[in-house]
């Protein structure tokens, strides 16, 4: 049991473990969302999902543009802070 615990601790403390878990979770989530999208009928008369279709193409494009811009800003800020810390 101690050997298993030590092995788990060694794997968990590796640099690649958290990014690998995030990649696996993203792939599983993507496959799940695609499966749910194929499973749901196009004419679903549910009040909790009708707001998704009311936005339209332009609204969706604007929302994705805002999300993408925000993600780029966060990544640039994190990169800038990392470089400034490494440089000093």
User: What phi, psi does 46 have (nearest 5°)?
Assistant: -115, 135
The tally of domains found in the chain comes to 2
No. of helices (H) and no. of strands (E), the chain? 4, 0
| Higher pLDDT among residues 47 and 64, named by residue | 64
pLDDT-derived band at 40, boundaries 50, 70, 90: confident
Q: Domain range holding 14?
A: 1-39
The verdict on pTM exceeding 0.75 is no
Looking at the predicted structure, is the pLDDT value of residue 45 above 70?
no
Selection from 53, 35, 33 nearest residue 43 by Cα = 53
pLDDT of residue 12: 75
Is 17 in a helix, a strand, or coil? helix
pLDDT-derived band at 46, boundaries 50, 70, 90: low
26 and 59: one domain? no
**Virtual CA dihedral for 54, 59, 63, 69, nearest 10 degrees?**
180
50 and 87: one domain? yes
- Tell me the Ramachandran region of residue 43: left when phi exceeds 0, alpha when psi lies from -120 to 50, beta otherwise: beta
Looking at the predicted structure, is the pLDDT value of residue 51 above 80?
no
pLDDT in tens, 68-88: 999 999 999 999 999 999 987
50 and 83: one domain? yes
């Amino acid at each position: 049991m101690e050997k298993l615990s030590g092995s788990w601790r060694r794997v968990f403390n590796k640099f690649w473990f958290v990014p690998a878990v995030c990649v696996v979770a993203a792939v599983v989530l993507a496959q799940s969302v695609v499966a749910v999208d194929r499973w749901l009928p196009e004419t679903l008369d549910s009040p909790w999902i009708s707001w998704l279709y009311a936005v339209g193409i332009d609204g969706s494009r604007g929302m994705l543009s805002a999300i993408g811009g925000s993600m780029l800003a966060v990544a640039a800020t994190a990169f800038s802070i990392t470089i400034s810390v490494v440089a000093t």
